[in-house]
Structure 1
Amino acid sequence: MTWLVTGGAGYIGAHVVRAFRDGGIDVVVIDDLSSGKAEFVPDGVPFVRANLLDGAAVRQALDGVTGVVHLAGFKYAGVSVERPLHTYTQNVTAMVSLLEAMAEKGVRNIVFSSSAGVYGTPTEEVVTEATRPAPESPYGESKLIGEWLLRDQAAATELHHTALRYFNVVGSGDPAVYDASPYNLFPIVCNLLTQGKVPQIYGTDHPTPDGTSVKDYVHVADLARAHVAAARALEAGTVLEPVYNLGSGTGTSVREIMDAARRVTGIDFTPGEAPRRPGDPSRVVANGDLAARDLDWKNTYTVDEMFATAWEAWPTAS
């Protein structure tokens, strides 16, 4: 049993690689290092440096593989509005290339990294898998198309698949791996605090208990374990749901994140306050009951523990 992890040199991918190895499952990584880091790939893990558009390299990486965890792609929703063609090329065309190579090599199992971006700005208090997708960016649209590709390829071939819709992935399960995204809240706060600067809260007039937006934050190590559970189920021939939300069902406000950062770091700061950013939803929280039922999914970290692991792994934290 060997699984290929596309994007395995990225923040989430590197955690998935470690979770597979901890579970006794061999892995191979393919990543073009456009956003990943070679040092995130553990020693001894075969690594193919290539983009998924390179069909020959993908077929090489699939040698001896029984399944794929597909995480590679362009993930910046805001930037995708400015670079739609690049987004579709990396997230849709590249996935077609991967599925073609899988069919040629007879690889029939795939776990797909989808996104909460497929929901856009939901009106429900708690999002479920039955919530109608309404993506609001090329990124979210590309992830929804990825789910459609799996559905249609499964109808035409013996493809076994599931898609995991992520919400806000945070923290670290290994001090050597950190989230370097310039757009995510936790690394933004860590970076500002290490520079002696004060983080900002954008929007304090949301219809939430403390006036700041509430989002669903899940720890990356919990997320990684869900991939292993999904892979094992597909390998065993279990029919999984086409999509699963990996969400806590509760949510955490931005102000609660700031309070956790103050407690964890010991840095006494009062965050600045600025107007809401356009399109920033007041509340996005997901029900994770289906994933709990089929993948033994659950959040095992408190908000303080989430921030503490992110802070410990941050490269300039002291």
Structure 2
Amino acid sequence: MLTITSREYTMILVTGGFGFIGSHVVRALHDQGVRTVVVQRGRAAVPEHLADLPVAVVRADVADLADLRAVGERHSVTGIVHLAGYPMPDGPEGRRTGIDPTQRWLQGLLNIGRVAQEWQVDRVGLASTIGVYFGTGHRGVLTEDLAVTLTAPHPIPRAKKITELLGEHLAETTGLDVVHYRISGTWGPLGHADPFFAAPALAHAAAAGTVPDLAALAGAPRLGDGLDLNYVKDTGRAIALLQLADRLRYRTYNVAAGRTTTNAEIITALRTIAPDADLALPDGGEAGDPMDITRLREDTGYAPRYGTVEAADDYVTWLRAGHLR
């Protein structure tokens, strides 16, 4: 049985730790009494929203093996949560960026595996996405053992499918404990406009008293559109619990709410806080399938703490406090 190091001596390296989901993972780990070190390619400074935590930050590039090894010389890393980004095929104005971004992404993933082995860490967590289920033709609850296709129409699920395959390969060839997080649609503080669901744009409009800016969406949203939508504080806590669990029985876990939330539900919740908000959307739409979280619940004790109303209230309060996102 794998036993995670005593939390008094635990230090988790988090890549992408100052990003949207990563920031909430860092806070959730600290809430569990665990220290973190975050690697940043740019300026090595803790952002304001995490300034109250004793976060260590090191300027390093995960694609540079020497940089990563230097982190291990300064800190006794016992686990890794790898949330850093994915390669996009198009640069500014749609220009092709060539092989370099993909090479850096793959090199970073392999470097994470190499230092994890050298440091003999307890566990490596790799970010994946609900998008890996797209294209299966399946209707019903999305379980981790569902067969997924090798193709994807968008670079995010494409990169995450590659990550899962490579993570499995690294686990089998190195003996590392590698865990994949299939993260559902996620909204909340620090989030960006999302092309796949309207909740962030609706929340911003409710907070500001404006009409929703839906330009970033891939298609026109309707009231009945929905997907498994998790509040980011729950997402961060679920990932922290997966990283710290004494024993995990599986390599892949859905990180989700376990239920589908529609735009109509989001609007109803937001109107409890902003009753005069202009959030009208046309009727119709299609609700996607929920993700099964039985594995996550049974192996970590996780249960979402934020219902739709609680999430809407928390997010709007955050935005009205002057935060841009």
Aligned equivalents of 1:214, 1:41: Cα separation in 2: 31
The match for 1:180 is: 192
Tell me, yes or no, if the aligned pair for 2:127 and 2:181 is still in contact at 8 Å. yes
TM-score normalised according to structure 2 size: 0.80
Aligned equivalents of 2:248, 2:311: Cα separation in 1: 32
The match for 1:220 is: 232
- Select 2:210's aligned residue among 173, 185, 196: 196
- Select 1:111's aligned residue among 125, 141, 161: 125
Which consecutive unaligned segments of at least 5 residues does structure 2 have?
1-9
Q: CA deviation at 1:60?
A: 2.1
Aligned equivalents of 1:77, 1:169: Cα separation in 2: 23
TM-score normalised according to structure 1 size: 0.81
The match for 2:139 is: 124
Aligned equivalents of 1:226, 1:84: Cα separation in 2: 35
Tell me, yes or no, if the aligned pair for 1:91 and 1:143 is still in contact at 8 Å. no
Tell me, yes or no, if the aligned pair for 1:10 and 1:40 is still in contact at 8 Å. no
The match for 2:272 is: 263
* Compared CA separation, residues 12 and 75, structure 1 to 2 (3 A): farther
Tell me, yes or no, if the aligned pair for 1:9 and 1:29 is still in contact at 8 Å. yes
Aligned equivalents of 1:115, 1:24: Cα separation in 2: 27
When the two chains are superposed, the root-mean-square deviation of aligned CA atoms in Å is: 3.2
Q: CA deviation at 1:100?
A: 2.1
Corresponding letter in the other structure for 2:24? H
Corresponding letter in the other structure for 1:130? D
The match for 1:13 is: 22
The match for 2:61 is: 51
Aligned equivalents of 1:44, 1:203: Cα separation in 2: 41
Aligned equivalents of 2:38, 2:101: Cα separation in 1: 22
Alignment of 1:295 onto 2:300: yes
Aligned equivalents of 2:154, 2:105: Cα separation in 1: 13
Aligned equivalents of 2:262, 2:89: Cα separation in 1: 21
Which consecutive unaligned segments of at least 5 residues does structure 1 have?
173-177, 205-209
CA-to-aligned-CA distance 1:150-197 (integer Å, 9 cap, x gap): 21112111201211111111234xxxxx22345463332233342622
CA-to-aligned-CA distance 1:251-297 (integer Å, 9 cap, x gap): 11112212222222233324244997xxxx74132111111111212
Q: Aligned pair count?
A: 299
* Compared CA separation, residues 4 and 272, structure 1 to 2 (3 A): same
* Compared CA separation, residues 68 and 192, structure 1 to 2 (3 A): same
Q: 1:1-318 alignment to 2 at 5 Å?
A: 1-32=10-41, 38-42=47-51, 43-62=53-72, 63-74=75-86, 85=99, 88-89=102-103, 91-122=105-136, 123-134=138-149, 135-172=152-189, 178-181=190-193, 183=195, 185-193=198-206, 194=208, 196-198=210-212, 202-204=220-222, 212-233=224-245, 236=246, 238-273=247-282, 282-314=287-319, 316=322
Partner SS for 1:264: coil
